Copies of this chain bind each other. A is one copy, B any other.
Amino acid sequence: MDNSDSEAGRALAITLARHSIHNIQPDLDVLKAGRPIYATNPDSLMRASQVIAIEFQTIAAANNYWRP
Binding site for B on A (CB under 8 A): 1-2, 10, 12, 14, 16-17, 19-21, 23-25, 30, 33-35, 37-63, 65-67
- The minimal Cβ–Cβ distance linking A43 to chain B, given in whole angstroms, is 6
For A43, list chain B residues within 8 Å (CB): 38, 43-44, 47
Which of the listed residues A16, A34, A49 has the most CB atoms from chain B within 10 Å of its own CB? Answer: A49
Please tell me if the beta carbons of A53 and B23 are within 8 angstroms of each other in the complex.
Answer: no
Q: Bound state CA distance, A30 and B42, in angstroms?
A: 10
Write 13 A-B pairs (CB below 8 A) sorted by A numbering. A1-B12, A10-B16, A10-B20, A14-B20, A21-B46, A24-B45, A34-B40, A46-B47, A46-B51, A47-B50, A50-B50, A56-B58, A61-B65
